[in-house]
Amino acid sequence: MAVRHQLIHRSPQAVWAVLAEPSLYGEWVVGPSESTPLDQTWPEVGSRLRYTVRLGPWSAEGVTTVRHREPGRELELEASFKSLGTARIFLQLRQWGEETLVVCDEHPLRGLGGTLHNPAVEAFLQLRHRGMLGRLAKVVEQGRAGARSA
């Protein structure tokens, strides 16, 4: 199970504002180049967004669904990427003084991703999370969610 954490120099509310903005998903999640909400209620439980992953001339779409949320504290997602299957991504926001400790826990649920899960995949997920949480910190600390909603 790939678990990683990142200290973000903003409040949990500022971090949540970015997580709650579906148009910012592609800016902090490593892999997707763009995202589009399929429901206008993101991040309500059951709401979805579609994302596109591009590698050179190749591109494919996936869907992420909110499975659990506690506003300002927890967001649990299920990412589905066609034949690769699905993965659970759990983001927990912990108040850390004036800052936020974000804990990310991801693991495959179904499909090929779960079948092929091994230590090499786990190492890849750790690298992906390092990039993802660093990007999340950058978007939050730049105040991107506030700029979009203003």
Task: Indicate which CATH number applies to the domain containing 60.
Answer: 3.30.530.20
Give per-residue pLDDT as tens, 55-105.
Answer: 778 777 889 999 999 999 999 999 998 777 898 999 999 999 999 999 999
Q: Are 90 and 99 in contact (CB under 8 A)?
A: no
**What pLDDT does residue 23 have?**
86
Alpha carbons within 13 angstroms on the beta-carbon side of residue 54 total: 6
Domain total in the chain: 1
Structural domain span for residue 131: 2-149
Q: Are 55 and 37 in contact (CB under 8 A)?
A: no
**What pLDDT does residue 123 have?**
75
Contacts of 68 (CB under 8 A, 6+ apart): 45, 74, 75, 76
